[in-house]
Amino acid sequence: MTSRFKDFGEDSGVNKAPLSFKLYGEEFHCVPAIQGRVLLDLVRKASDENDPGAAAEVVDEFFKKTLNVESYERFAALTSDSEKIVTVETLSEITGWLVSEYSERPTKGPEVSSNGE
């Protein structure tokens, strides 16, 4: 009987290019990649129907995990500023963009066989 096995490697081509965004003229730098488990855990926590405050905690946790320490500190200050309002819609847009960047397919293209197919 033949065994079935697949080696998923050490680095499956995760995109590690710099990732940043701008808000109110400030540029915020994110970690280039995060564990897939982090995204799955955040989705699970956000879907907890018994805890309406869970979504707010998840958004804060998401930014703590994705922003570099210095950027997170500035981001937290900006989103607490009474003069520079960052709406829930804007936070959702940033979160959605980052999730799509973190969950994109690996940057390596498909391997071409020796016959070009």
Give the end-to-end CA distance of the chain in Å, rounded to a whole number.
31
- Whole-structure pTM value: 0.75
Structure tokens at 64: 């703590």
Residue 114 has pLDDT above 50, yes or no: no
Task: Answer with the residue of higher pLDDT: 86 or 104.
Answer: 86
Query: Can you tell me the distance from the alpha carbon of 64 to that of 44, in angstroms, rounded to the nearest whole number?
Result: 17
Percent of the chain surpassing pLDDT 70: 84
pLDDT at 105 (0 to 100) = 53
Residue from 15, 17, 33, 21 nearest 71 by CA:
21
Asked if residue 58 has pLDDT above 90, the reply is: no
Is residue 62 scored above 90 in pLDDT?
yes
Q: What is the mean pLDDT of the chain?
A: 84
* Least confident residue range of 37-41, 60-64, 92-96: 37-41
